[in-house]
Structure 1
Amino acid sequence: MSELLNRVVWSALATRQSAFSQGTALARRFDPGVSPFASAKDNSDEALAALEDLFQTGDDRAFLLQAENILLPGNLVAEKTALGVLMIEKTAIVPPSRHAGIQPLSVEDVPEMVALAELTQPGPFTDRTPELGTFFGVRLDGRLAAMGGTRLNLSGYREISGLCTHPDFQGRGLASALTLHVAARIRADGDTPFLHAYADNHGAIGLYRKLGFEIWNEVNVAVVRRRT
């Protein structure tokens, strides 16, 4: 387990999501139009040099996300860094039936999904991010009130991501219901659900604990670009 989760981005790009991958056997990144994440295979000089080669000069940036320490070659610089946690589902909880209004989202819903993500900032989200997995939403008063789905997909594990609720509809348990719904779908496919949170987001971590998740390990996050 730890080998796959130490570098979840690499594990996804090297296995189930290789169709979205750009790079080599030493470093890969998602098609930037789909997701901004990248990863070296390890911290060897050769892998870090291959990671550097994935970046173009100018406004090209990518997110690194891994449990191992983030090391960068000389021509890459971290604009932002943060500490997060990777949480794995330990206790399966049955989704509440009172939120039967959860429905799959489709390509027709993408503009609303992007607008909701831009408003609430659940993490990197583009108009092609839904290609990475299945997303679900709740509509109230004719509007997309909340959504959540899957992003990183690796052997035996699938990440719950994009969870967000419009401010007008917060406090109704929509994010919790969506988390449990997506987790149940992941389990039904034979995988283990996991998710990420920033280490200082104690409210989110506490909520995810109540939903059956426990911290597996801290993870390092960096937004990286090539030096000019």
Structure 2
Amino acid sequence: MLDNPIWSSLTTGHARFALADGPARRFAPDVAPFLGIRDPGPESVAAMARLAEPGERITMVGVVPDEAPGWSVEKRAAVAQMVFEGNEPVEEDDPAILVLGAGDVPDMLALTGLVYPEYFRPRTHELGTYLGVRREGRLIAMAGRRMWPGHFREISAVCTHPDFRGQGLARRLLARLVTEILRDGLSPFLHVDAGNAGARAAYERAGFVVRRDLPLVRLRRESP
């Protein structure tokens, strides 16, 4: 399930969001840039091409094709997949934490654009609950639920504006999401750049452990 998180999400918890072609599934471009395949074989690679427009970029995690004719590789990296194995955080009343919605999308795009410019899209918030902290009307921190493979729930878009880091905002948002996911009977997990030792250490302090590193690839569909 977690070895192929995009495919698993689009065939279970987020099946209603799936644009499908045989052994390939993807989110609509305005929801998320992710495409998943059942396996790395030629049938899956052919199906990928039918789900993307020329010039379009998609991101894959976990199961990626060995070769992808008709695609240009723009990025290859590794992400550490971390699962929560800690104790449920002690719930504290935190009135500063707000539930974000459609009206907050411009601010969410602006904030995530500072850290994750490729990954958050105008409809990403539809994938799950996103929480944020505002100060004097300005969105300064956020985090939310993204992929949903089976009984696992991904925490994503954990970010704080550079002007407000070091105040524990991300930690508070993370704790709230972990608590809510556990109470829904699901298991929290997340992904972080495998080379980001600081972020990995912060998540470990929050009760997450590395399950394994997964390949990440960003591809651009070439013109015929």
Distance 1:34 1:201, change over 3 A: same
TM-score between both structures, scaled by the size of structure 1? 0.92
| Match status 1:62 vs 2:58 | yes
- The residue aligned with 1:29 is 26
1:114 pairs, out of 109, 118, 124, with 109
- The residue aligned with 1:204 is 199
- The offset of 1:79, in angstroms, is 1.1
More displaced, 170-179 or 87-96? 87-96
| Mapping 1:170-185, distance limit 5 Å | 170-185=165-180
Question: Which one has a larger percent helix, Structure 1 or Structure 2?
Answer: 1
1:75 pairs, out of 60, 70, 78, with 70
| Match status 1:18 vs 2:15 | yes
Structure 2, gaps ≥5 residues long: none
Q: Once the two structures are aligned, what percentage of the paired residues are identical?
A: 37
- The residue aligned with 1:9 is 6
| 1:96 and 1:177 in contact (8 A); partners too | no
Q: What is the DSSP-based 3-state SS (H/G/I as helix, E as strand, rest coil) of the residue aligned with 2:114?
A: helix
Count of aligned positions: 223
Distance 2:38 2:201 in 1: 32
Distance 2:129 2:16 in 1: 16
Distance 2:110 2:90 in 1: 26
More displaced, 117-126 or 128-137? 117-126
Structure 1, gaps ≥5 residues long: none
| 1:52 and 1:73 in contact (8 A); partners too | no
- The offset of 1:156, in angstroms, is 0.4
Alignment RMSD (CA, Å): 1.6
Instruction: Detail structure 1 runs of 4+ shifted over 4 Å in the superposition.
Output: none
Q: What is the DSSP-based 3-state SS (H/G/I as helix, E as strand, rest coil) of the residue aligned with 1:6?
A: coil
Distance 1:106 1:227, change over 3 A: closer
2:164 pairs, out of 159, 165, 169, with 169
Q: What is the DSSP-based 3-state SS (H/G/I as helix, E as strand, rest coil) of the residue aligned with 1:178?
A: helix
1:221 pairs, out of 212, 216, 224, with 216
Distance 2:109 2:132 in 1: 13
Q: Which amino acid aligns with 1:64?
A: M
- The offset of 1:95, in angstroms, is 4.6
TM-score between both structures, scaled by the size of structure 2? 0.93
More displaced, 32-41 or 103-112? 103-112
Deviations 1:5-30 (A, max 9, x none): 11100001111212211122310111
